[in-house]
Amino acid sequence: MQLQILGRVCLSTDAGPVRLTELEHGLLALAALRGHVEVDSLAEWLWDGEPPSSVRNRVQALVSGIRRKAGAGLPVVVTDGRGYRLGDGVLVDLATWTREVTTARTRRGTDADAALAHYDAALALGEDPLRGAPGTGAVELERSRLLQERLAVVEERHDTALAAGAHEGLVPALEALCAHHPYHERFTALLMRALAATGRQHRALEVFHETRVLLDTELGVRPSEALVQAQRAVLAGSPAGSPAVLRLPVPRTLPRRPDGFVGRTAELAAVVRAADGLARGPVVVAVTGLPGSGKSALALEAGHALREHFPDGTLYHDGANAPGGVGVDAVVAAFLPLLGVHPEAVPASAPARSGMLRSLLDGRRVLVVLDNVAGEEAGSRLADLLPAAPGSMALVTSRRALDAVGTRHRVRLPSLDPASARTLLEALVGPDRVARSPEAVADVVRLTGAIPLALRLAAGRVAQRPDLGLDDLAERLQRKWSGAGADEIAVLHASLDRLLEGLAPEAREAVDALAHLSADAVSGWVVEAVTGDHVLGDAALDAMLEYGLVEPVVREDHDTQYRLHDLVRSHVRGRTGRGAEHGVDGADHPASRREAEVVAEAAVARSAVFLEDRPHRFLPVAARPSGLAAPDPLPRTRRRSRRFFRTETPLFVALARSVADVRPDLAWRLLADSALGTDASSDLHAWFEAEREVDASLREDDDGRLGAASLLLCRAWLLQDRRSVSREARELAEAARRRLLLLGASEAAAAASLVSSQASTSLGHRAEAEAAVRAAESVLTRTGDPNLAAWAAIARGTLHNDYDEIEDAAREFTRARDILRSSPRTVAYALATLELSRSRRRTGELAAATLLVDEALELLLEIEGVHMYSYALDARAEVSLAADRPEQALDESATALARASAARDAFLTARARRTHARALLALGRLEDAETALRTVVEEFTALDRPLSVAFAYQVLAAVLDARGDPVGASEALRLEQAALRRATASRTDAPQRRSPGPA
């Protein structure tokens, strides 16, 4: 087990890093630094001397958390008297640092190479100590001490290297150190000695002069004795009478900064940030983007911003996107005189000229800007123009990626963000015009794709015509986009035409199809679908990326998608004429419908593969239409189903609406599939709207009737599972069950019965819930679907649990687990485990309850059960309460509440808030507990959950009694009984209960 504190604080086991909180990291760090820690020292270290009221309990909780998370292997933290220390098996990088530095200092006088190896081993352990620990004053003081100690070791290391003649890489390293620590005179002295040792005495004296001026100007002090001695050593090393060092010309050929440069903050920062690596080697930055996206403007802005980094000059060449290439030989011939080469001394052969350019740039700090590079010649000869020595940098702009650049610094220019586009329009036509027409501003930005040059060209005419406004400009652009009217941005359209004509046929076909799909972003398989071939689709996507026609869309917990640029979309739609007669987006055009149908077929075929691996699936999968081929090659689905449906659900919903009138068989299956694969982040409102539209288009044939019944079932399930709208969900599920039975869809009918049972249980209607479970089980005995059989057992167990029949509930949850024993990677298995944990907790078997809830949490993490995870955290908080650990329960319930609120799950939010209130009660925070419980009563009442309301009133009565309010407590108990009577009203023989339990 290893503990790192010299970088980001991290505890690692054989299984990988242990996920700890900031306070837990801080406790481990202090134990590593001090060897033994007590509560008093931790109060200053973790809380700046203002610890929580129960600081000892809080520290104990931190220690328990570390032990639990680290696992049952070697002990991480052990109790030592009244404090704690690290376990003997924990290896700390600070001990390694001390050992390596001590060895290096011992050997630096006898074996410099060995000493350098030990210095480097120590310095490699980390650069920024104690990151991830609390930002208290004590931590910051210790961090400063460790940083100063590290700087001292760095100085010793470079002094040893200089004395041993190990000069390789020494000058760039010292230059970087001096840049970061300009007042550290010992580093400057080392740099001067290193420069002199490598034959650059003149530069060493320049460094001394620059530092002397800096010290005098900024600090008002003279150079230290170390600097003066370094200057004398440099002067003494220069032979008497040696000729003066030749000063080569310093070219400054970069054009002036562009006017009206807006936006591009992140992109400019990326270019400037790349210059941080100049000390380690030459830096090359490639800037790509569509015509007019502002590549040249960014290169010039960055070049001027970086001017001080390149005291030896800047070289600029504009290739003007010439089809014949960048003209490397001509550029080299133009650069050489700027660097002091007489025209008669320029070599005759191209290789010799390139060699001379590299020789002149070697050892100099120069910026080379190659703007608007294009053509095949650039691909083979561009490297001749790129600097090869540390300290120099090249900026290369082009419309497509150039393999010859070979750099990891790539900056792709997207459209301007809306705020920057508005700022540019204000600069072009005036802020008053922009303020008068906010809707027209949005239209102009959309129709120009927010491309800077397109905005400049479009606004140019309005700027000269006081009688025209931005609404006139938007109208003119719309007419052009629809295939009529003048072209305000003809030059850009011509450039795009040339760009598209250079694509392979399959890539042009893909661009055309994507431009007319009603989806903002698509995945790679969509490109394969429209090209009809996996290999061709892959090549088409590569080409679109290379030319900047699409932009990658990377979102957390989603598959990567690609978004066609707005200007390309509008250009293609206008060129094909689909917008003029068939609406703004051309969706009604026959060709657009054919493209949507092709993609819809591929989507239905693909989703069937992912649904088989969907651990969240509750409803059975609808049979695919006859003749629908499986995707080739089959996608890899292992643990990707959640990401797939999270990514593709918006496309599925949009496609369903697009093809509803021509392929209703595809439309309803797309919606059903997205319902089966959906999770808490999905846009349910959009799904419900699409379901109404698709349902209206279904035909009166067997498939149409099956589709209508299936969508009805999906709606019922989503209302119950995601919205807790139980009354409507039960009515819809019963209607779907009757239709599905008539159609012979037995498994789907059984699923409808289970949805009805869940809704009836939520409403407190036990008789109806039991009847629905029996109806499902009677079907499942014939079909044998294990997933639905397990859900039926869970439904029965939930009923028993809600009515305090604990042993019967435990038996049903155990049966559900047994049914799914061979395939436990499902939400059903996790839920059965979780509910069994609740049963064990209620019978006082806390050890078993803890093991079961931890098993459920681990499984939900594995299958990414985001929706259920907050429910599991709430269950663990209940176990902590039962085990008399209220502070831990408070933390766990707070996390559950935050996650449930973020997922917009009303039931789980109310449930977690109730557990949080119980923890507050246990800690004596009675006012906060009462406030939370009154909110809980309102939430459960709005959800029509009478059993849950009853238990909330029971807890509220306990809070009011503890606050010395017997009248309020009595009223809460009366309201509890009223909620219980309402819950049991549907069945006269239902047991009347004093304590309904945590429903």
* Closest by CA position to 409, among listed 305, 266, 274, 281: 274
- The answer to whether 42 and 27 are in contact (CB under 8 A) is yes
Cis peptide before 633 (omega within 30 of 0): yes
The neighbouring-strand residues paired with 393 are: 283, 367
Q: Quick one: tokens of 417?
A: 């963000």
Q: What is the side-by-side order of every strand in the sheet holding 37-38?
A: 37-38, 83-86, 77-80
Q: Say which DSSP state 881 is in.
A: H
The model's pLDDT over 619-639, given as tens digits with 9 standing for 90+, comes to: 888 889 888 888 888 887 767
Residues comprising the chain, all counted: 999
The neighbouring-strand residues paired with 550 are: 564
Rg (CA), the chain: 36
Predicted local distance difference test score (pLDDT) of residue 986: 43
- Chunk the chain into consecutive blocks of 10 residues (it has 999) and report each block's average pLDDT, rounded to whole numbers: 89 87 90 87 85 84 88 81 87 91 88 91 90 89 90 92 87 91 91 85 84 86 85 59 47 85 90 91 90 90 92 88 66 84 71 81 87 64 82 89 78 88 88 86 85 84 80 78 56 78 86 86 92 90 86 86 85 64 45 82 92 79 86 78 87 93 95 78 81 94 95 93 87 96 94 95 90 93 85 94 91 95 88 94 94 93 81 94 94 93 86 95 95 94 88 94 94 92 55 37
CA dihedral 151, 157, 162, 166 (to 10 degrees): -130
* Closest by CA position to 174, among listed 148, 154, 144: 154
Predicted local distance difference test score (pLDDT) of residue 981: 85
Predicted local distance difference test score (pLDDT) of residue 643: 85
Predicted local distance difference test score (pLDDT) of residue 705: 96
What is each CA distance from 858 to 819, 828, 869, 873, in whole angstroms? 20, 14, 10, 11
* Closest by CA position to 278, among listed 315, 249, 308: 308
If you write DSSP's letter for every residue of 363-423 in order, what string do you get? TS--EEEEEEE-SHHHHHHGGGGS--STT-EEEEEESS--GGG--SEEEEE-PPPHHHHHH
Neighbours of 337 (CB within 10 A): 14
The neighbouring-strand residues paired with 555 are: none
Predicted local distance difference test score (pLDDT) of residue 920: 96
Neighbours of 62 (CB within 10 A): 22
Q: What pairing do the DSSP bridges indicate for beta strands 550-553 and 561-564?
A: antiparallel
Which residue type, as a one-letter code, is found at position 500? L
Predicted local distance difference test score (pLDDT) of residue 153: 92
Q: What is d(CA 798, CA 832) in angstroms, rounded to the nearest whole number?
A: 9
* Phi, psi values for residue 215, rounded to 5°: -65, -40
Residue partners of 681: CB distance under 8 A and separation at least 6: 557, 646, 866, 903
Predicted local distance difference test score (pLDDT) of residue 589: 52
Q: Say which DSSP state 885 is in.
A: -
Predicted local distance difference test score (pLDDT) of residue 480: 62
The model's pLDDT over 130-154, given as tens digits with 9 standing for 90+, comes to: 898 998 888 888 888 899 999 999 9
Q: What is d(CA 452, CA 121) in angstroms, rounded to the nearest whole number?
A: 50
The model's pLDDT over 897-908, given as tens digits with 9 standing for 90+, comes to: 998 888 778 889
